[in-house]
Structure 1
């Protein structure tokens, strides 16, 4: 889960946005909830006293026989009215009577919310709960602002501050009792707030996904182009568009690509020019050596000149190979490597190709053919035989060339890749080349975004051309993997040999 979170830009953007939303909502609630609660209680208290005053005026103007019916008609879901002959001095008894009255169902009223279980229901008021709350509070006279009638009245709270009670003495000596109770239904965490938060989160998540895709699309294109550039492919410039940061990144990549290409071209042209210019003094030296009278000295001079000539020709060939821009295209890698081994075997060299699964790979076939050939010829020359096969790891496609020779000391395995470097203990100037074979092979591998490493084979040496798996293309036709028989693979190898 953590790995996915770190890899996905959209997930991180959504996560941080939702965290910011939750923190903002929490801060808003902390700042405004107390004031909102006070305002709601003030409004309910004002409504309670206004309704009680209206009922008081109404009862004072109507016959006593109709007062009971008037009180029943005036009751609401949250308020109840009743008359008593005695002064309600016992606070606890009055609160218990208020609980009983509030629990009494209203006449001609059907509570559909409670019947069908719709909405949030407040906590149920009980006499036990009322008896435990407000025990130290008794009747108190309401302020002049809330009660401005001449009838004497007294006020109390019950169930904390959720319930209000009022007793008003009428002109005939009766007491009008009013009880109002509304549970705190407007809690900060209810269905309404939950739905609002979910809808806001969904909209923000959708926006974050769109923004993340807009940001990631050019970044994915940049990653693909950088990978192709690392394999030496010739790429068109990236489109320099979008926001400033993305546009500047594309501009920097295009400039880097142009500079790298210019640097490689300049280096290659310089190497080719040096190799070409060396031909003239070498020819002059060869002519002058012909006039040396001492045959032994003349032979040594000519051998040295021949060695310089071969090194020069190899340098020119290497430079030409570097300067040649070969198009990257999809090739059947197993057939390509197998055809190289078949060619060497036809020339009488002990080269064996161990066939593996069919695979299509984007590469420069001529350069890769040259690298595999150099490694196979080296294995035959210094190890007596070569075994070639292809293996796949989690991130690479490896072309392995094994031999059974004396191998190369571990401390010299990087040195042998230097141009014109040879190990004198196992490779002499008569049987070996000029020391560019491994350099060329590594240059080809690195042009493909990979490398060449040397490992011990016990006995012998194992040379591995490690190519990135990004260049692999599975042979799939309409979503079905294609499995080729051995005869078809041999035919493809024959076509590669002809090519």
Structure 2
């Protein structure tokens, strides 16, 4: 944001300066030309008065002493009537080196340069072909002696003629090789200083706007992973302040909604215990043993489903603190616990991975997948895989897999692929619902795929939760060569 803001400000500065330059350049050129013309005529008038005060034999010496790098004087016997012919002759006079008294070494040449930059003769002859001799205004020429002036080489040169007392004509030619410009070193320095100040102001403003937006994005990401965060600071510009207030209200409402739902389910579960207990007592008085057994079994199933639903809802809303753990160690501890129970669970060790999560919630999800793999696939192989965008927890088994049309349905509560009514083999049907809820609360998800040699379940967690980068597992390549698994999937829920 800071880069874009500064870029836009500098672009606006450049565009505004360009428009100012385009608007000012015409007026600047006119004023500059008018000033040069006035100065030239004033110098010519001074030289004319000087010649009037000197004897005629000293005129040539006085004219040579009055010449400069851009200025030449000469005398002619005839009146210069043809303006174009005079311009060509003026170019020849401008090419003449300065007098030795002005340039003793004879090295300066025209305009103080050994290689003077004079206009082309053809350009001088054609640039002002239609411009005749004109009488200067009275505010420019203060003498009573009549005179005329003209322009040559566009507006870069000026000519002058007047008749002296002895009948000869005084001529003067001035050529301006550099008209100057608005973009001087001083103006460029001023523009650079302005751009620097605008850039500093832009950085300050952009950071003031971006800081609360960055905090909002971080809080939204963390809240999406189920973390309980304090309210955002409601400061900054008015729009950012209102956004932070809206986010805080949304977070509070969602938390209240989850709490109210959990309380409602807990109340329902508590209220159901009384009629279920009453039904169980009444079932004890049934004389038919077969009917009594079926009734008690049904009551037990209802009670188990109620308790599981309450536990599931409470588990989703529990406020477990987020902390940094070693994800590799967490997975290894789950596999060790299952191995201690005699289950065929193998953990492929990898690099230490520091991850920010809610470990109890994640432990429950991984344990459900491992138990499903053992129950329905006969074994479980668990390892971590690091990708550019995620950290994957992979659970492999050799089970028959999940039908494609049931891939999504197995996440629904109380959906079981095991068709028996036995809770010991089929469970309640909330196992994968718990796994998906835990994965999504951490900002990730779970995916399945069936393979030729078995199944895989992949819990993908966002890499943003990693505290430090982890290297590749030591035996990961060996494992790929040892066992090729064409697909990924998960087992049926409990």
Q: Structure 1 stretch 258-267 or stretch 204-213: which is displaced more?
A: 204-213
Aligned equivalents of 1:395, 1:290: Cα separation in 2: 59
Q: Equivalent residue for 1:395?
A: 389
Q: Verify the 8 A CA contact 2:5 2:206 in the aligned structure 1.
A: yes
Asked if 1:89 is matched to 2:81, the reply is: yes
Q: Verify the 8 A CA contact 1:80 1:102 in the aligned structure 2.
A: yes
Q: 1:307 to 1:483 in 2, by over 3 A?
A: closer
Match of 2:369 among 361, 365, 375: 375
Q: Equivalent residue for 1:72?
A: 64
Q: Verify the 8 A CA contact 1:358 1:483 in the aligned structure 2.
A: no
Cα deviation for residue 396 of structure 1 reads: 1.2
Query: CA offsets, 1:269-298, max 9 Å, x none?
Result: 212222222111111111111111222221
- 5+ residue gaps in structure 2? 476-494
Q: Equivalent residue for 1:364?
A: 358
Three-state SS of the structure 2 residue aligned to 1:431 is: helix
Q: Equivalent residue for 2:53?
A: 61
Asked if 1:52 is matched to 2:66, the reply is: no
Question: After the TM superposition, which residues 17-416 of structure 1 pair with which residues of structure 2 at under 5 Å, given as runs?
Answer: 17-103=9-95, 104-105=97-98, 107-108=101-102, 124-187=118-181, 194-416=188-410
Aligned equivalents of 1:211, 1:156: Cα separation in 2: 57
Q: TM-score if structure 2 supplies the norm length?
A: 0.87
Query: CA offsets, 1:69-121, max 9 Å, x none?
Result: 33334334432222223322343443233223334347547989x8899xxx9
Q: Equivalent residue for 2:490?
A: none
Aligned equivalents of 1:286, 1:77: Cα separation in 2: 122
Q: Verify the 8 A CA contact 2:69 2:112 in the aligned structure 1.
A: no
Cα deviation for residue 18 of structure 1 reads: 2.3
Question: After the TM superposition, which residues 423-438 of structure 1 pair with which residues of structure 2 at under 5 Å, given as runs?
Answer: 423-425=417-419, 429-438=423-432
Q: Verify the 8 A CA contact 1:401 1:462 in the aligned structure 2.
A: yes
Q: Structure 1 stretch 366-375 or stretch 141-150: which is displaced more?
A: 141-150
Q: Verify the 8 A CA contact 1:164 1:181 in the aligned structure 2.
A: yes
Three-state SS of the structure 2 residue aligned to 1:330 is: strand
Cα deviation for residue 64 of structure 1 reads: 2.1
Aligned equivalents of 2:443, 2:399: Cα separation in 1: 29
Aligned equivalents of 2:296, 2:208: Cα separation in 1: 68
Q: Verify the 8 A CA contact 1:151 1:171 in the aligned structure 2.
A: no
Asked if 1:12 is matched to 2:12, the reply is: no
Q: TM-score if structure 1 supplies the norm length?
A: 0.86
Three-state SS of the structure 2 residue aligned to 1:278 is: helix
Q: Structure 1 stretch 374-383 or stretch 184-193: which is displaced more?
A: 184-193
Three-state SS of the structure 2 residue aligned to 1:206 is: helix
Cα deviation for residue 184 of structure 1 reads: 4.6
Q: Verify the 8 A CA contact 1:407 1:459 in the aligned structure 2.
A: no
- Give the aligned CA root-mean-square deviation in angstroms: 2.9
Cα deviation for residue 427 of structure 1 reads: 8.6
- 5+ residue gaps in structure 1? 1-8, 476-480, 487-499
Cα deviation for residue 20 of structure 1 reads: 1.5
Q: Verify the 8 A CA contact 1:87 1:175 in the aligned structure 2.
A: yes
Aligned equivalents of 2:258, 2:351: Cα separation in 1: 36
Aligned equivalents of 2:50, 2:79: Cα separation in 1: 21
Cα deviation for residue 482 of structure 1 reads: 9.5
